[in-house]
Structure 1
Amino acid sequence: MARRKKGRRIDGVFLLDKPQGLTSNSALQRVKRLYDAAKAGHTGALDPLATGMLPICLGEATKFSQFLLDSDKRYITTAKLGVRTDSSDADGEVVETKPVPSLEWDSLNQLIQARFAGEIEQVPSMFSALKHNGQPLYKLARKGEKVEVKPRQVNIYEIKLLDLRDDEVDLEVHCSKGTYIRSIVEDLGLELGCGAHVSMLRRIGVANYDAAKLLTMDELEQIAAETETDQGPECIQMRLDALLLPPWSAVDSLPSIELPADLAVRLLQGQRITELFDERGLVRLFAEQRFLGMGEVEDTGRLVARRLLDTSEGAQA
């Protein structure tokens, strides 16, 4: 019996501009297939309705995907006023319509800042990916089941009113992990007395990643198709690989330590490092400008390995 091909070793982060209508898992599988990657994972699902930044970690970069899951995010969204849906977005069934009151920019902005800026408490939507007894809430919601969802504390670092039209409000939100934009929009509609739902949602930032480096699925597939026609499979891999950001980009907010070659060898062999370091907390580790992984300098100054790359096949830096 022939063994199933597992894919190749490729390490890095691809910044996908996810299109509307595609699930995050479907997007992940398409990118993984194009790269012929043995291992891949995304860093926080976007709803099918949503577009924008979806960092996809390949190979050893998946070891640091949790840090992107835990990082702050940036979104722009359009709130459609006067219409409530069961899912609080445009994909849901309309449950209520009400007239939209006349709104003034200054008073609306004051309401938004007073109600939503800073640390707030919000109740996640039943159509979120949070799990109850192992089942995602959105699956229970689609079955018509309702469960009690506990409120959670989130931090809205900044919320901007971008535009105001007759029945639409555009917002930009910089928030902590676990923030549900649809909950902000739903609560804004309640505050205005007319209801609201998300008609557009786009993620424009995850951690420190630059939105200018986003590529769409169509662009990625076009690059692969053009290269295959002109130059063949090996050149496809080379050209696609050049689009990847290094694995350490997932944790580039951490300070870095450049280790001498002898200490790097000892660390990778699992030996105790007795030398003391000035840094404290989590750090990125390099040796001869090659990324080794992540460590932690304890209060004693001692360096402990936390998440190292598998260097047996030569992780890309």
Structure 2
Amino acid sequence: MSAPRSKRRDIDGVLIFDKPLGMTSNAALQKVRWLFNASKGGHTGSLDPLASGVLPLCLGEATKFSQYLLDADKGYITEARLGMTTTTGDAEGDVLEMKPVQVSQADVEAVLPRFTGDIEQIPPMYSALKHEGQPLYKLARAGETVERKARSVTIQRLTVLGLEGDRLRLEVHCTKGTYIRTLVEDIGAALGCGAHVSELRRIQAGPFDLSKAVTLETLEALHAEGGHLALDHLLLPSDSGLEDWPEVQLTEQTAYYLNHGQAVRVPGSPAFGKVRLRDQTGKFIGIGEMTDDARVAPKRLMRFSG
């Protein structure tokens, strides 16, 4: 008989994972859940297998707040290969066209202002967006192309890091939903030679950057030495992605009523918007939202075991 499976444990927190190349975001989540022996987990938006870098993973009750990290701004370093366009906009696709590259850094600097600020992007066919219930990438693999509506995104910062031959390195800071592949293709078109993404590394997601990220090698080494308990110190608090939100301190009485679904009045609360909630001991218990009559209403609360 096979040995009984150990019970997964309830553990809450956020791990900033440095996702390696070639791994899907879901595979990264399942690997981290296994290493932590966590009963529940979720990621904060997919990072392509061909991209590496910052992928915040939420365990336990922290998954209730993953949406707010999904909505956060992102930062990337990308290498664009000039002179070659591909079916997917990255190195995985088939070559569509090759052109000679006679581009200087000054040429690049001259076109970048067109792609800075509020811009419109047409999502690529090789994306997870859905058309009539089907992901676009599945239709693309079947040879189909469908019309996609342009979407507004904001490129907050776009910087040239270097140009060597046909290899252009860029740093991009942008709002959620920005397709770096599309950005690189559009820059290549503006330069007259075409381009595709040959490397992509996410360096920031919301308040988290690579300085907080933990590699798979580190996780596996700690796990080999001390099991899943040896990893717990790497978890950030469940509200670590919400640190720029205003905080409301509750009394024992207001925490009780709020935990039972009632809006409460707390002196000194903001006039409007979402807030982080802490109970009388200072423990984070969830998020609330200010009502029109200046009360704090529960929006998403932590569930504590025991």
TM-score of the superposed pair, with normalisation by structure 1: 0.91
Percent identity over the alignment is: 52
The aligned counterpart of 2:151 is 152
- Does the alignment pair 1:215 with 2:214? yes
The aligned counterpart of 2:137 is 138
1:194-235, Cα deviation, whole Å (9 max, x unpaired): 1100000000001011321111112111110122xxxxxxxx
**Contact 2:262-2:297 within 8 A present in 1 as well:** no
Q: Secondary structure at the match of 2:62?
A: helix
The aligned counterpart of 1:258 is 249
Looking at structure 2, the residues matched to 94 and 52 of structure 1 have their Cα atoms a distance apart, in angstroms, of 26
The aligned counterpart of 2:283 is 290
Looking at structure 2, the residues matched to 70 and 272 of structure 1 have their Cα atoms a distance apart, in angstroms, of 26
Question: How far 1:186 moved relative to its partner?
Answer: 0.4
Which structure 2 residues correspond to residues 26-37 of structure 1 after superposition, within 5 A? 26-37=27-38
The aligned counterpart of 1:181 is 180
1:58-112, Cα deviation, whole Å (9 max, x unpaired): 0100000100111100000001000110000001111110001232x23421311
Looking at structure 2, the residues matched to 127 and 216 of structure 1 have their Cα atoms a distance apart, in angstroms, of 28
* Equivalent pairs, count: 302
Looking at structure 2, the residues matched to 271 and 123 of structure 1 have their Cα atoms a distance apart, in angstroms, of 44
The aligned counterpart of 1:239 is 230
AA in 2 matched with 1:111: V
CA distance 1:136–1:5, change in 2 (3 Å)? farther
The aligned counterpart of 1:82 is 83
Looking at structure 1, the residues matched to 268 and 132 of structure 2 have their Cα atoms a distance apart, in angstroms, of 44
Which runs of 5 or more structure 1 residues have no equivalent in the other structure?
Answer: 228-235
Looking at structure 2, the residues matched to 188 and 175 of structure 1 have their Cα atoms a distance apart, in angstroms, of 15
- Does the alignment pair 1:166 with 2:165? yes
CA distance 1:178–1:6, change in 2 (3 Å)? farther
The aligned counterpart of 1:18 is 19
Looking at structure 2, the residues matched to 271 and 311 of structure 1 have their Cα atoms a distance apart, in angstroms, of 18
The aligned counterpart of 2:293 is 300
The aligned counterpart of 1:119 is 118
Question: How far 1:38 moved relative to its partner?
Answer: 1.1
**Contact 1:277-1:302 within 8 A present in 2 as well:** no
Q: Secondary structure at the match of 1:247?
A: coil
Looking at structure 2, the residues matched to 180 and 172 of structure 1 have their Cα atoms a distance apart, in angstroms, of 14
The aligned counterpart of 1:109 is 109
Looking at structure 2, the residues matched to 100 and 78 of structure 1 have their Cα atoms a distance apart, in angstroms, of 15
The aligned counterpart of 1:191 is 190
AA in 1 matched with 2:262: Q
**Contact 1:276-1:303 within 8 A present in 2 as well:** no
